[in-house]
Amino acid sequence: MTSAAVALAIEDLQKAGLTAVVAPAGGADEISVTGIRVPPAYRQAFDEAGAARAQLDEAQPGPPSSKQRKPAESAPSDDTKMAQARLDRAYASQARNDIGVLEVEQRLVHLLKPSLGAPVSAGDRLRLAGLPFPVDDYRSAEAGSPGRVEQYSFTLAPGAGGKVDPLNLTLDFSGELARRNWSGSPILNSAGKVVGVYSRPLAGSDAGSGADAAGTTSHAVTPIARLRDIAPELQ
């Protein structure tokens, strides 16, 4: 299990004729990926985001000529606002459905079990574990190793109304954590079961604002319940 973003990146590699493998941390085995599953809603949102970015590029005004006087501040056009709103909706849909399954050619020895029972609630002690990379990078530039695995524990804070929306989970990070991308990493409960998968920094995040940034940034988590959409055998 991983994020849909990771799964589609692997799918692109396979379409280019490359072989994708799963390599257990610390081991020499390379297990071939034989199939990929992502929610149809994620694929649709992925395509919609691409179309919205193209629309946004077209709506952006070109640079002023030497004879034109550039205003101190120019308000965005209606087309730009519409394109940006379309892109924000697509990103939000991606975050809600950012979960994927990699089918492999043999059974894995070490497994994390999903928690498909009671949803998480305010006050739950959770743990993020994975191989983070700089938030400005598209993907990690190096392979994982046991020494690179990082883990952070935190208590889930209540949202609006003092409750947690189990289908729209977010994590608020500050400092170094705010500038890391954990794409595909599991969120574990106190029993060591997976309750969600890290998706991405949310739109509007200033995670790349420097090492001394004091503000917090929000990061989306796809709830484990979405796994049922692509793995009916777990019903």
pLDDT at 75: 63
Range of the domain at 199: 110-234
> Is 144 in the same domain as 202?
yes
Same domain membership, residue 127 and residue 82: no
Structural domain includes residue 69? no
Residue 154, domain CATH:
2.40.10.10
Count how many domains the chain has. Answer: 2
Task: Identify the pLDDT of residue 207.
Answer: 46
Q: How confident is the model at residue 5 (pLDDT cuts 50, 70, 90)?
A: very high
Residue 101 has pLDDT above 90, yes or no: yes
Instruction: Flag whether 125 is in a domain.
Output: yes
Contact 115, 193 (CB under 8 A): yes
Give residue-wise pLDDT tens across range 38-63: 999 999 999 999 999 999 888 776 55
- Rounded Cα–Cα distance for residues 102 and 36 (Å): 5
Same domain, 153 and 80: no
pLDDT at 162 over 80: no
Q: Give the global pTM.
A: 0.79
Torsions phi, psi for 5 (to 5 deg): -60, -45
CB atoms within 10 A of CB 4: 30
- Residue with tokens 């020494």, as numbered in its chain: 147
116 plus 227 within the same structural domain: yes
Query: What pLDDT is recorded for position 197?
Result: 93
Report CA-CA distances (Å) from 163 to 7, 95, 155, 169, 202: 31, 20, 13, 11, 20
